[in-house]
Amino acid sequence: MLVGGLIPLSVAIQTSGAADTIAHALLSIVGDSSPYALLIGLFVLTAVLGQVVSNTATALIMVPIAIAAAHELALSPRPFLMLMSVAAASSFLTPIATAANMMVMGPGGYRFGDYWRLGLPVMLWFLIVSVVVIPRVWAW
């Protein structure tokens, strides 16, 4: 139900021009000289959104933005979509990010702030490995 309901949102983001606007804003922040900077910017944007929205919803929201950003730099969208998928799955900073995080909070005796201590280093490793490996496997 969630995925089915979010597919029209993803299409609306693309057809309304919101994806182009957000992609242009992201490129103005990270610069358009390096595709690696765009990879990092997309990872950060996706990961931040993924902390408060489900992974599936995050991916569906970010797909048109990643495609628009890649097209604006005249690059293949494949590496950007793969990175966005990895970033959407890196919901480690809050217990509300995924159901698994929420399920272990009570029995483990965790507090909201405890997720940052291990989640941030794991997320940084996701970022580093993704930015290094993905362009080698999926060419620009």
For 40, the domain range is 2-137
Residues 99-118 have pLDDT tens digits of: 888 899 989 899 988 888 88
Residues 116-128 have pLDDT tens digits of: 888 999 999 999 9
Please name the residues in contact with 87: beta carbons below 8 A apart, sequence gap of 6 or more: 42, 43, 44, 46, 47, 50, 62, 126, 127, 130
This prediction has a pTM of 0.88
Write down the pLDDT at residue 112.
87
Q: How many domains does the chain fold into?
A: 1
Please name the residues in contact with 75: beta carbons below 8 A apart, sequence gap of 6 or more: 35, 140
